[in-house]
Amino acid sequence: MIELKTPAEIQRMHVAGRFVAEVLSEVGRLADVGVNLLDLEHHVRGMIERRGAESCYWDYAPSFGRGPFRNVICLSVNDAVLHGLPHNYTLRDGDVLSADLAVSVDGWVADSARTVVVGTAAEEDLRIIRATEEALEAAIEVARPGNRLGDISAAIWAVARDYGYPVNTEFGGHGIGRTMHEELHVSNKGRAGRGLTLRPGLTLALEPWFARTTDRIVYDADGWTIRSADGSRTAHSEHTIAITEDAPLVLTRRESENPATRADSASRLSAKDA
Protein backbone atom coordinates (compact mmCIF):
# COMPACT_ATOMS: atom_id res chain seq x y z
CA MET A 1 0.00 0.00 0.00
CA ILE A 2 1.24 3.48 -0.81
CA GLU A 3 1.05 5.66 2.27
CA LEU A 4 0.44 9.35 1.69
CA LYS A 5 1.99 11.53 4.38
CA THR A 6 0.30 14.42 6.12
CA PRO A 7 2.03 17.82 6.11
CA ALA A 8 2.97 17.21 9.77
CA GLU A 9 4.58 13.87 8.85
CA ILE A 10 6.44 15.50 5.99
CA GLN A 11 7.79 18.06 8.44
CA ARG A 12 9.11 15.21 10.58
CA MET A 13 10.79 13.69 7.52
CA HIS A 14 12.26 17.13 6.86
CA VAL A 15 13.93 17.03 10.27
CA ALA A 16 15.64 13.78 9.25
CA GLY A 17 16.37 15.29 5.84
CA ARG A 18 18.13 18.35 7.25
CA PHE A 19 20.36 16.10 9.30
CA VAL A 20 21.21 13.91 6.30
CA ALA A 21 22.05 17.06 4.34
CA GLU A 22 24.29 18.28 7.15
CA VAL A 23 26.19 14.98 7.25
CA LEU A 24 26.66 14.86 3.48
CA SER A 25 27.95 18.45 3.52
CA GLU A 26 30.46 17.40 6.16
CA VAL A 27 31.48 14.34 4.09
CA GLY A 28 32.07 16.65 1.12
CA ARG A 29 34.29 18.88 3.24
CA LEU A 30 36.26 15.97 4.70
CA ALA A 31 36.75 13.91 1.53
CA ASP A 32 40.31 14.78 0.69
CA VAL A 33 43.53 13.20 -0.54
CA GLY A 34 44.96 10.96 2.21
CA VAL A 35 41.65 10.37 4.01
CA ASN A 36 40.79 6.73 4.69
CA LEU A 37 37.23 5.54 4.00
CA LEU A 38 37.09 3.83 7.40
CA ASP A 39 37.87 7.12 9.17
CA LEU A 40 35.19 8.86 7.12
CA GLU A 41 32.66 6.19 8.09
CA HIS A 42 33.68 6.49 11.72
CA HIS A 43 33.21 10.23 11.67
CA VAL A 44 29.69 9.86 10.27
CA ARG A 45 28.94 7.20 12.86
CA GLY A 46 29.84 9.71 15.57
CA MET A 47 27.58 12.38 14.05
CA ILE A 48 24.66 9.94 13.95
CA GLU A 49 25.22 8.86 17.55
CA ARG A 50 25.48 12.43 18.82
CA ARG A 51 22.27 13.37 17.01
CA GLY A 52 20.43 10.40 18.48
CA ALA A 53 19.55 9.30 14.97
CA GLU A 54 19.43 5.76 13.73
CA SER A 55 21.26 4.42 10.70
CA CYS A 56 19.07 2.62 8.18
CA TYR A 57 22.09 0.73 6.88
CA TRP A 58 23.29 -0.82 10.11
CA ASP A 59 22.22 -4.49 10.04
CA TYR A 60 20.53 -3.98 6.67
CA ALA A 61 20.39 -7.44 5.09
CA PRO A 62 18.66 -7.52 1.71
CA SER A 63 18.74 -10.64 -0.45
CA PHE A 64 21.67 -9.43 -2.56
CA GLY A 65 24.05 -8.40 0.23
CA ARG A 66 26.50 -10.64 2.00
CA GLY A 67 24.95 -8.97 5.01
CA PRO A 68 24.27 -7.71 7.51
CA PHE A 69 25.83 -4.36 6.67
CA ARG A 70 27.91 -3.02 9.55
CA ASN A 71 28.44 0.54 8.44
CA VAL A 72 26.35 3.71 8.56
CA ILE A 73 27.21 5.14 5.14
CA CYS A 74 27.91 3.76 1.67
CA LEU A 75 31.15 5.03 0.17
CA SER A 76 31.76 4.13 -3.46
CA VAL A 77 34.95 5.13 -5.27
CA ASN A 78 35.48 5.64 -9.03
CA ASP A 79 33.85 2.72 -10.90
CA ALA A 80 31.98 1.76 -7.70
CA VAL A 81 28.64 3.54 -7.63
CA LEU A 82 26.13 1.96 -5.25
CA HIS A 83 26.27 0.28 -1.82
CA GLY A 84 30.02 0.82 -1.55
CA LEU A 85 31.28 -0.96 1.54
CA PRO A 86 33.63 1.33 3.47
CA HIS A 87 36.99 -0.43 3.58
CA ASN A 88 40.65 0.28 4.22
CA TYR A 89 41.27 2.59 1.27
CA THR A 90 42.98 5.96 1.33
CA LEU A 91 41.57 8.51 -1.09
CA ARG A 92 43.90 9.63 -3.91
CA ASP A 93 44.08 12.73 -6.01
CA GLY A 94 41.39 12.62 -8.70
CA ASP A 95 39.24 9.93 -7.07
CA VAL A 96 35.49 10.19 -7.48
CA LEU A 97 33.64 9.48 -4.23
CA SER A 98 29.92 8.76 -3.98
CA ALA A 99 28.43 8.94 -0.50
CA ASP A 100 24.94 7.61 0.20
CA LEU A 101 23.27 8.04 3.57
CA ALA A 102 19.88 7.12 5.01
CA VAL A 103 18.99 7.75 8.63
CA SER A 104 15.91 7.72 10.76
CA VAL A 105 15.17 10.53 13.23
CA ASP A 106 12.26 9.93 15.61
CA GLY A 107 10.90 7.22 13.34
CA TRP A 108 11.06 9.08 10.02
CA VAL A 109 13.61 8.45 7.30
CA ALA A 110 15.51 10.56 4.78
CA ASP A 111 17.89 9.24 2.13
CA SER A 112 20.34 11.23 0.01
CA ALA A 113 23.50 10.75 -2.01
CA ARG A 114 26.11 12.94 -3.65
CA THR A 115 29.29 12.48 -5.64
CA VAL A 116 32.40 14.61 -5.18
CA VAL A 117 35.85 14.68 -6.73
CA VAL A 118 38.81 14.37 -4.37
CA GLY A 119 41.63 16.79 -5.17
CA THR A 120 42.21 17.55 -8.86
CA ALA A 121 39.08 17.01 -10.93
CA ALA A 122 39.08 15.59 -14.45
CA GLU A 123 36.59 17.38 -16.70
CA GLU A 124 34.92 14.11 -17.69
CA ASP A 125 34.31 13.28 -14.02
CA LEU A 126 32.76 16.68 -13.35
CA ARG A 127 30.59 16.16 -16.41
CA ILE A 128 29.03 12.89 -15.25
CA ILE A 129 28.47 14.30 -11.75
CA ARG A 130 26.75 17.32 -13.30
CA ALA A 131 24.61 14.98 -15.41
CA THR A 132 23.27 13.13 -12.36
CA GLU A 133 22.64 16.42 -10.56
CA GLU A 134 20.77 17.87 -13.53
CA ALA A 135 18.80 14.64 -13.95
CA LEU A 136 17.83 14.85 -10.29
CA GLU A 137 16.69 18.46 -10.61
CA ALA A 138 14.73 17.62 -13.77
CA ALA A 139 13.05 14.75 -11.93
CA ILE A 140 12.18 16.95 -8.95
CA GLU A 141 10.76 19.59 -11.29
CA VAL A 142 8.10 17.21 -12.64
CA ALA A 143 7.24 15.66 -9.26
CA ARG A 144 3.93 17.49 -9.06
CA PRO A 145 0.31 16.48 -8.51
CA GLY A 146 -1.35 15.23 -11.67
CA ASN A 147 1.90 14.19 -13.32
CA ARG A 148 2.73 10.49 -13.56
CA LEU A 149 5.53 8.41 -12.10
CA GLY A 150 6.73 7.81 -15.66
CA ASP A 151 7.26 11.56 -16.07
CA ILE A 152 9.95 11.39 -13.38
CA SER A 153 11.68 8.43 -15.05
CA ALA A 154 11.45 10.09 -18.45
CA ALA A 155 12.94 13.32 -17.11
CA ILE A 156 15.98 11.47 -15.75
CA TRP A 157 16.38 9.45 -18.92
CA ALA A 158 16.20 12.56 -21.11
CA VAL A 159 19.13 14.17 -19.31
CA ALA A 160 21.15 10.95 -19.52
CA ARG A 161 20.46 10.77 -23.25
CA ASP A 162 21.49 14.39 -23.76
CA TYR A 163 24.81 13.62 -22.14
CA GLY A 164 25.18 10.26 -23.88
CA TYR A 165 25.18 8.11 -20.74
CA PRO A 166 23.44 4.72 -20.77
CA VAL A 167 20.92 4.04 -17.96
CA ASN A 168 20.70 0.95 -15.80
CA THR A 169 17.18 -0.04 -14.68
CA GLU A 170 17.99 -2.52 -11.90
CA PHE A 171 18.43 0.12 -9.21
CA GLY A 172 16.57 3.40 -8.97
CA GLY A 173 14.44 5.52 -6.69
CA HIS A 174 11.83 4.34 -4.23
CA GLY A 175 9.07 5.22 -1.84
CA ILE A 176 10.31 6.31 1.59
CA GLY A 177 8.86 7.34 4.92
CA ARG A 178 8.80 5.28 8.07
CA THR A 179 11.31 2.94 6.46
CA MET A 180 14.07 3.45 3.88
CA HIS A 181 12.36 1.47 1.14
CA GLU A 182 8.59 1.72 0.80
CA GLU A 183 6.37 0.64 -2.05
CA LEU A 184 7.09 2.17 -5.47
CA HIS A 185 10.15 1.73 -7.61
CA VAL A 186 11.16 4.83 -9.56
CA SER A 187 13.10 3.68 -12.58
CA ASN A 188 15.74 6.00 -13.99
CA LYS A 189 14.38 5.22 -17.44
CA GLY A 190 10.75 5.32 -18.53
CA ARG A 191 7.98 6.83 -20.58
CA ALA A 192 6.20 10.06 -19.76
CA GLY A 193 2.48 9.80 -19.14
CA ARG A 194 2.69 6.27 -17.74
CA GLY A 195 2.34 4.83 -14.27
CA LEU A 196 0.93 6.07 -11.01
CA THR A 197 -0.60 9.54 -10.87
CA LEU A 198 1.36 11.66 -8.40
CA ARG A 199 -0.53 13.06 -5.42
CA PRO A 200 0.27 15.43 -2.57
CA GLY A 201 1.70 13.51 0.36
CA LEU A 202 3.68 11.09 -1.76
CA THR A 203 7.29 10.96 -0.52
CA LEU A 204 9.99 9.58 -2.78
CA ALA A 205 13.74 9.13 -2.92
CA LEU A 206 14.84 10.01 -6.46
CA GLU A 207 18.31 8.83 -7.37
CA PRO A 208 19.78 9.04 -10.87
CA TRP A 209 23.13 7.31 -11.17
CA PHE A 210 25.10 6.74 -14.35
CA ALA A 211 28.28 5.07 -15.52
CA ARG A 212 30.09 6.69 -18.41
CA THR A 213 30.00 3.89 -20.93
CA THR A 214 27.82 1.03 -19.70
CA ASP A 215 24.42 0.24 -18.22
CA ARG A 216 25.68 -3.05 -16.80
CA ILE A 217 26.89 -3.63 -13.25
CA VAL A 218 29.06 -6.13 -11.38
CA TYR A 219 29.22 -6.93 -7.67
CA ASP A 220 32.39 -7.05 -5.62
CA ALA A 221 33.25 -10.19 -3.67
CA ASP A 222 32.10 -8.33 -0.54
CA GLY A 223 28.56 -8.88 -1.84
CA TRP A 224 27.70 -5.18 -1.53
CA THR A 225 29.76 -2.85 -3.65
CA ILE A 226 28.27 -2.37 -7.12
CA ARG A 227 30.57 -1.24 -9.95
CA SER A 228 30.19 -0.38 -13.59
CA ALA A 229 30.79 -3.62 -15.53
CA ASP A 230 33.41 -2.02 -17.77
CA GLY A 231 35.25 -0.13 -15.05
CA SER A 232 34.14 3.27 -16.31
CA ARG A 233 33.62 6.04 -13.79
CA THR A 234 30.26 6.74 -12.22
CA ALA A 235 28.21 9.28 -10.29
CA HIS A 236 25.09 9.25 -8.11
CA SER A 237 22.81 12.04 -6.88
CA GLU A 238 19.82 11.46 -4.62
CA HIS A 239 17.29 13.51 -2.72
CA THR A 240 14.25 12.66 -0.65
CA ILE A 241 11.30 14.75 -1.79
CA ALA A 242 7.66 15.30 -0.91
CA ILE A 243 4.99 16.03 -3.48
CA THR A 244 2.81 18.89 -2.27
CA GLU A 245 -0.05 20.99 -3.65
CA ASP A 246 2.61 23.52 -4.59
CA ALA A 247 6.22 23.04 -5.64
CA PRO A 248 7.94 19.77 -4.71
CA LEU A 249 9.65 19.97 -1.35
CA VAL A 250 13.26 18.74 -1.28
CA LEU A 251 13.77 17.39 2.24
CA THR A 252 17.51 16.71 1.96
CA ARG A 253 18.67 19.91 0.23
CA ARG A 254 22.19 20.95 1.30
CA GLU A 255 22.82 24.60 2.09
CA SER A 256 25.63 24.85 -0.47
CA GLU A 257 23.49 23.53 -3.31
CA ASN A 258 22.28 25.94 -5.90
CA PRO A 259 19.92 24.13 -8.26
CA ALA A 260 18.99 27.33 -10.09
CA THR A 261 22.53 27.79 -11.34
CA ARG A 262 22.98 24.16 -12.17
CA ALA A 263 19.86 23.94 -14.29
CA ASP A 264 21.05 27.01 -16.16
CA SER A 265 20.96 26.29 -19.86
CA ALA A 266 24.38 27.80 -20.52
CA SER A 267 26.17 25.41 -18.19
CA ARG A 268 24.08 22.61 -19.66
CA LEU A 269 25.32 23.44 -23.15
CA SER A 270 28.96 23.66 -22.16
CA ALA A 271 28.58 20.33 -20.37
CA LYS A 272 27.31 18.71 -23.52
CA ASP A 273 30.14 20.14 -25.53
CA ALA A 274 32.74 18.70 -23.19
Q: Which residues bind Mg ion (CB under 5 A)?
A: 100, 111, 113, 205, 238
Choose between 17 and 271: whose C-beta lies nearer to Mg ion. Answer: 17
Q: What is the Cα–Cα distance from 265 to 123, expressed in whole angstroms?
A: 18
Choose between 228 and 252: whose C-beta lies nearer to Mg ion. Answer: 252
Choose between 31 and 271: whose C-beta lies nearer to Mg ion. Answer: 31
260 SS3 class? helix
- Give me the least distance between CB of 93 and Mg ion, in Å please: 27
- Give me the least distance between CB of 171 and Mg ion, in Å please: 9
Choose between 133 and 271: whose C-beta lies nearer to Mg ion. Answer: 133
- Give me the least distance between CB of 29 and Mg ion, in Å please: 20
Choose between 157 and 271: whose C-beta lies nearer to Mg ion. Answer: 157
164-201 in b/e burial notation, b at 16+ Cβ within 10 A? ebbbbeebbbbbbbeebbbebebbbbbebeebeebebb
Q: Kindly report the CA angle at 208 between 221 and 108, in degrees rounded to 5?
A: 85
Q: How many C-beta atoms lie closer than 10 Å to residue 161's C-beta?
A: 12
- Give me the least distance between CB of 99 and Mg ion, in Å please: 9
Task: Give every CB contact of residue 262 below 8 A, 6+ residues apart in sequence.
Answer: 130, 133, 134, 137
Q: Give the type of residue at 1.
A: M
Q: What is the Cα–Cα distance from 119 to 96, expressed in whole angstroms?
A: 9
- Give me the least distance between CB of 271 and Mg ion, in Å please: 24
